[in-house]
Amino acid sequence: MKVLNEFKKFAMRGSVVDMAVGIIVGGAFGTIAKSLVSDVLMPPLGLLLGGVDFSDLFITLKQGAAAGPYVTLAEAQAAGAVTINYGVFINAVSSFLIVAFAVFLLIKSINKLQREKEAPKAEPTTKDCPRCFTAIPVKATRCPNCTAEIGDVEA
């Protein structure tokens, strides 16, 4: 019973719940990134490279039951051929890079918001003399450079 109570305390801590939410959102984000790569980015990139569909780029190591050549990866796999699927790997690397860049931008934005929230703007310690524009302490009533009285001079 004591172990169950300890586990309950552990599972209900904020960091564990935050991690669970992060994993769920990360899974959904991964699905979006995969779709972005395979459905949006790779088709135009394939066109630029002469109509190449990256998912069908493979090297046949051993013929399957039905002899090749195989036009698509699905044909090769259906025949039982042993293949190196480097096109699928290119898609996976592209997807990873897009997800990593998006996470980088997200973390960068969050860090910027944190810095703005944490760092209060410091009050200025100097002001410019309205007559000679020399920097003087904020509390000064007379400019040490031109001896103008600060309270009497209009800006």
At 61-79, the pLDDT tens digits run 999 888 878 988 999 999 9
pTM for this structure?
Answer: 0.51
Task: Using the predicted structure, report yes or no on whether residue 155 has a pLDDT greater than 60.
Answer: no
**CB count in 10 Å sphere of residue 1:** 5
**How many Å apart are CA 54 and CA 71, to the nearest integer?**
13
Q: What is the mean pLDDT of residues 112-116?
A: 81
Amino acid at 138: V
> What domains are defined for the chain?
2-52+85-121 (1.10.1200.120), 122-155 (no CATH)
Instruction: Determine the pLDDT at residue 153.
Output: 46
Say whether 94 sits in a helix, a strand or coil: helix
Residue 58 phi/psi, 5-degree rounding, is -155, 160
65: its two tokens: 């039951």
Tell me the percentage of the chain whose pLDDT exceeds 90: 15
